[in-house]
């Protein structure tokens, strides 16, 4: 019984560890790498080192891959690479916590599209109201940069794709899909970083910090997310991932001294509530009939 209870906590612990590591690594990258190689170079070293680490650790060439699975993993990896690139581009001009909240509209959309009940309009209204408080829609929102907001919205679209393709690849060994996916992500973003930063990427400081950032903010979180996705539906994953905007905002406040106003904290809370509510209702609808299995 204790073992079964611990097993049921694995998805929650995996996602909690993922969002915490992601926040720590991203804060470190913004503080230390952005001044040296910019957002593009930071993305390149982060994703490139993450791919190298996981390829060496998991050695995915040991497993066979069908053509259909190869296509899915390629799409999963491309979405992952573009998510990282768009998100770091957004971080150049808007606070970490706000960028995460906007980006979070991607998994929120996944949860909403899976729901079919009238109460889902409540979650839509909450999400729209939260985004309206954050986005510069014709009014001043703490001088949010429109370009940064657009990059964060682009990251949201890519993150939604990442979740869907990741779920389609979840029947594969987690190390197999993640390592190959990151290799594909590196093929997408490393050329962008090289074109932007050139030889600066080979600086010992950049390489050292980049390796640490890759381990903390990519390799570990992505592996933990795949562990969670293998045990959860996309909707349940959305519920548990709803803690990420708040964790990011708190870490950015502690590590980067990025202070948010009351309205911005309210907007983050509304987006989190919308995601949790819509995901919970989708999960109930999925379980539906009394005879449905309790195992997911």
Q: What is the pTM of this model?
A: 0.81
| 221-263 tens-digit pLDDT | 877 887 787 777 666 676 677 778 888 888 888 888 888 888 8
| 16-63 tens-digit pLDDT | 888 899 899 999 999 999 999 999 999 999 999 999 988 998 889 888
**Rounded percentage of the chain residues whose pLDDT exceeds 90:** 38
| 93-128 tens-digit pLDDT | 998 888 988 898 887 787 677 666 677 778 777 887
Sequence-separated (6 or more) residues with CB below 8 Å from residue 57: 175, 179
């Amino acid at each position: 019984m204790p073992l079964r209870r611990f097993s049921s906590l694995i998805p929650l612990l995996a996602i909690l560890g993922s969002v915490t590591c992601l926040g720590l690594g991203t804060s470190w990258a913004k503080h230390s790498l952005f001044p040296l190689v910019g957002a593009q170079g930071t993305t390149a070293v982060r994703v490139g080192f993450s791919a190298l680490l996981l390829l060496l650790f998991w050695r995915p060439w040991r497993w066979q891959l069908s053509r259909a699975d190869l296509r899915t993993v390629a799409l999963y990896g491309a979405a992952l690479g573009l998510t990282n690139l768009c998100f770091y581009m957004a971080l150049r001009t808007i606070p970490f916590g706000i960028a995460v909240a906007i980006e979070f509209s991607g998994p929120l959309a996944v949860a909403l599209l899976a729901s079919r009940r009238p109460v889902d309009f409540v979650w839509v209204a909450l999400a729209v109201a939260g985004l309206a408080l954050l986005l510069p829609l014709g009014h001043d929102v703490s001088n949010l940069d429109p370009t940064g907001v657009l990059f964060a919205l682009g990251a949201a679209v890519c993150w939604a794709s990442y979740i869907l393709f990741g779920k389609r690849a979840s029947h594969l060994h987690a190390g197999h899909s993640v390592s190959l996916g990151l290799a594909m992500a590196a093929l997408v973003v490393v050329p962008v970083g090289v074109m932007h930063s050139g030889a600066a990427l080979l600086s010992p400081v950049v390489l050292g910090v980049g390796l640490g950032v890759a381990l903390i903010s990519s390799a570990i979180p992505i592996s933990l997310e795949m562990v969670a996705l293998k045990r959860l539906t996309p909707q349940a994953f959305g519920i548990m991932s709803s803690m990420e905007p708040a964790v990011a905002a708190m870490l950015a406040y502690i590590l980067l001294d990025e202070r948010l106003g009351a309205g911005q904290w309210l907007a983050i809370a509304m987006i989190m509530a919308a995601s949790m509510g819509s995901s919970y209702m989708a999960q109930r609808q999925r379980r539906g009939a009394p005879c449905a299995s309790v195992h997911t």
